[in-house]
Amino acid sequence: MSKIKNAFANGKAFIPFITCGDPNLETTAECVREMVKNGATLVELGIPFSDPTAEGTVIQAANLRALNGGTTTEKVFELVKDLRRDVKIPLVFMTYANVVFGYGAEKFISTCADIGIDGLILPDVPFEEKGEFLSTCKKFGVDLISMIAPTSENRISKIAREAEGFLYIVSSLGVTGTRNEIVTDLAPIIKIVRENTDIPCAIGFGISTPEQAKKMARLSDGVIVGSAIIKILAQHGKDSVSMVGEFVRKMAEAMN
């Protein structure tokens, strides 16, 4: 059984995202540990990339800060090795195909398995093209996590049937970023997912308040939040750790 399912075993999963190396890798490590302490059940670790096409301006800026600060894929792997000394919850990478290809796909995915990464999200790889990575992920026991968007329509059932780990339901059209309101009717999408798989699904993109998290958790098995956390880091830098922890606590409590 995928370790990722453990994140959904005891109520709704709260899944925070953080860009590794923003403002530095030491702060990233402290934030992840603080997130776990305050109710995160799975953490998405972003490996910075120069052209993160799925991201809005907040996470784009975080990627640039991390890269300008000298963060590399190799250093992110070392970060995960450090985290795995005491962090037991599932960890997944979110990055882009070029990062994986640049490192060497087999070497990248085998390293993920060696250091304790449970899943991989590649938002720029369409479902129809995931085969390039899927066989290698299966070989090393790393879940390749699929995304379903409001535009997926007649592909939803097929994506759901082939899903691994958890399904990432994109709440809104466009890129990541906080939104005042989630207006997409996600219930029909979740219904199709439920009819085709028992793998858990979590909603992301645009969720930034406890009220939004609570509403999305009623529909799904979990909630993913990134930009709202990155905004705290952008504003407070190395002094963000306790504020990130408090934000995670409020979101996780609202959902459960």
Statement: residue 180 has pLDDT above 60: no
d(CA 73, CA 102): 10
The identity of residue 41, as a single letter, is T
Statement: residue 129 has pLDDT above 90: yes
Token pair in block for residue 192: 């199709």
3-state helix, strand and coil shares in percent for the chain, rounded to the nearest 5: 50, 15, 35
Question: By three-state DSSP, how is residue 147 classified?
Answer: strand
Q: How many domains does the chain have?
A: 1
pLDDT at 136: 97
d(CA 168, CA 224): 8
Q: Which of 139, 68, 82 is nearest to 109 (CA)?
A: 139
Per-residue pLDDT tens over the stretch 10-50: 999 999 999 999 999 999 999 999 999 999 999 999 999 98
Q: Which of 161, 171, 115 is nearest to 142 (CA)?
A: 115
Give percent above pLDDT 70 in the chain.
94
Residue 68 CB burial class (10 angstroms; 0-12, 13-18, ≥19): exposed
Distances (CA, A) of 72 to 69, 78, 142, 229, 232: 9, 10, 21, 21, 22
Q: Which of 171, 162, 228, 222 is nearest to 193 (CA)?
A: 162
Instruction: Provide the b/e sequence for 106-121 (b: ≥16 CB within 10 Å).
Output: eebbbbbeebebbbbb
Token pair in block for residue 212: 């939004």
The verdict on whether omega for the bond into residue 23 sits within 30 degrees of 0, i.e. cis, is yes
Side-chain half-sphere exposure of 116, counting CA atoms within 13 A? 16
Token pair in block for residue 196: 């085709």
Instruction: Provide the b/e sequence for 218-254 (b: ≥16 CB within 10 Å).
Output: ebbbbbbbbbbbbbbbbeeeeebbebbbebbbebbeb
User: Residue 183's domain is classified under what CATH number?
Assistant: 3.20.20.70
Statement: residue 179 has pLDDT above 60: no
pLDDT at 185: 82
Q: Among 126-130, 179-183, 248-252, name the one with the lowest average pLDDT.
A: 179-183
Quote the domain boundaries for residue 10. 3-255
